[in-house]
Each structure stands twice: as structure tokens, then as C-alpha cells.
Amino acid sequence: MQEKTAEQIETEKLRARLTKRFHKACADYGLIADGDHILIGLSGGKDSLALVELLGRRAQIYKPRFQVTAVHVRVKERAYQTDLSYLEQFCAEAKVPLLIRDVEIGELTADESTSKGARETNPCFLCSWYRRKALFQVAQELGCNKIAFGHHRDDVAQTLLMNLIYQGAMATIPPMLPMEKMPLSLIRPLYLIDEADIARYAELREYRKQQKLCPFEHVSSREKVKGLLEEIKRLNPEAIDSLFGAMSNIKTDYLPLMKE
């Protein structure tokens, strides 16, 4: 028998750690139940690819029995681009059906333009609004009762810092958020997983990167707070653990600065 390489051993260990924390989040927060039909928002980045892999593998286990479908939303007016043939191949290997939905950014209604502190001139808001709106539409068309996003522990900590700095609120992304106006819940199965683990796993598994990135990716407030969090982690490598501890009794309602 051929001996495993160091990379194969590392990949197996990382897969086991990701899977363990994925299962813990699903169990601790009750994210998956029998009969669920979960829609995955697949951007094509490392986080959403890992989410497809983990949920696809979990769906093959007998209990709980649930369906998974992935949807990739393309916004006509935005320059970022993903290799669709790769997404199709990746989802096929994960045994997850894939849908492609194209949308165009139009004019927002009066209600939409003021909802949740929206800014019509903010390109990130507009893109996020239309992508999320498309996800809700596809979920309703397919009869999905949950939408899964690839937010991880670092995203949760970043959102806490953003809301503290810009909103003066002790609030962050919840692992599950039931929607008030439709029979849908938003879930985040990667809630307990560190971004560094996902990044290394993606490298080892040779996840293909997006062909063209969003032109606003490195100029957003979130990117600045991400850099701030890295500085904090250099002061204290256990900073995210401390932030999670501080969040144990805080409000987790939706806020406009939440990552889309």
C-alpha cells in the first residue's frame, strides 16, 4: 500500500476538523431538521464551495433527511466572474443540484431604498440587495424552507466590530435567523469554523478561484475591519474566542452592516 503524502494527511485532518465543527454548529443551533430543503447561496468563493461540500456530504447521511440545492446568482452590472463549468463540476461531485440565476440592477422602489438603512448610491448594497432578492425568489419557487450562507467565525467577529464601530450596537450575525415575512430561515452552518482553516483546506483541495473579483472588494468598510481584526489577533491570538465569549448574551437581530 502506498503511503499517504504529508498533504494528504493534512487534508484529512483538516476535513475532519471542519466536519466536526460543522456538525457541532448544526446540532447546537438546530440548523437542520427532517424534511428541510436548503438552498445554498453559491458565490464561487472558498466559503460557499466548502459549504456545498459539507452540506452535500451531510445530505447523504440517512438522518435527518433533507434536500440541498445550490444557486449561483450573476449580477449583469458587476464585473466579478466565476467559471460556471467548474461550479457545475464541483456541485455534481458533491451531489448537489445547481441553478444559475441572472439578474439586472434596476431602480429600487421607495420601500426598498429606505429599508434597513439602504443607500441607493452604495454599489455593495445594490449588488447584495439584488443577489439576496434572487435567492429568496428561487427559494420560494423551489419550496425551500432554509437558505444557507457561508459565513464563518471571522465574519461573525468582524460584524460585531463593525456594528460596535459604526452603529454603536452590540450585535452580530446569528447562526439562524427566521424571516418575518416569509416561511424561510437563514442558516450559517460554518458559524464555528475559522476562516484560516477554510482557506488552507481550499488550497489543499485546489478549489478554483473566481476569474474576476469584485472591484469594490478591497475598499469596503468590511475589508478595513477585517484588517483591524487581524491586528487584534496579533495582540491576542485567542481574540476571536474572547469575542465569541462576549457575545454570549448580546442581541443578534439583523443589522444593515451584516455581511451579505
Of the candidates 57, 46, 69, the residue with the CA atom closest to the CA atom of residue 208 = 46
Query: In the chain, what is the straight-line distance between the N-terminal and C-terminal CA atoms, in Å?
Result: 46
Give the mean pLDDT of 75-89: 80
pLDDT of 214 > 70? The answer is no
**Sheet with strand 67-75: strands edge to edge:** 98-103, 67-75, 37-41, 146-148, 185-187, 176-178
State the alpha helices, DSSP H only, in 36-194: 46-58, 84-93, 110-114, 123-142, 153-162
Q: Is 259 exposed, middle or buried (0-12, 13-18, 19+ CB in 10 A)?
A: middle
CA 244 to chain centre: 18
pLDDT of 7 > 60? The answer is yes
- Residue pLDDT, tens place only, 107-137: 544 454 444 444 444 556 677 778 889 999 9
| b/e per residue 191-215 (b: at least 16 CB within 10 A) | bbbbbebbbbbbeeeebbebeeebe
pLDDT of 87 > 70? The answer is yes
Instruction: Give the start-to-end residue ranges of the domains of the chain.
Output: 6-249
Class of domain 6-249: alpha beta
- Residue pLDDT, tens place only, 162-201: 888 888 888 889 999 999 888 999 999 999 999 999 999 9
Across 51-60, 104-113, 228-237, 240-249, the highest mean pLDDT is recorded for 51-60
| b/e per residue 245-255 (b: at least 16 CB within 10 A) | eebeeeebeeb
Give the mean pLDDT of 201-230: 78
Report the distance separating Cα 75 and Cα 156, nearest Å: 25
- Tally of CB atoms within 10 A around 144: 24
Q: What is the mean pLDDT of the chain?
A: 85
pLDDT at 163: 87
Residue 3: partners with Cβ closer than 8 Å, 6 or more residues away: none
pLDDT of 101 > 80? The answer is yes
pLDDT at 249: 56
Q: Is 36 helix (H, G, I), strand (E, B) or coil?
A: coil
Q: Which of 2-16, 36-50, 123-137, 150-164 has the lowest mean pLDDT?
A: 123-137
Compute the CA torsion angle 110, 112, 116, 118 (nearest 10 deg): -80
Please give the residue that has the higher pLDDT: either 104 or 121.
104
Task: Kindly list the distances between the CA atom of residue 130 and the CA atoms of 76, 119, 149, in Å, as whole numbers in the listed order.
Answer: 11, 13, 16
pLDDT at 168: 84
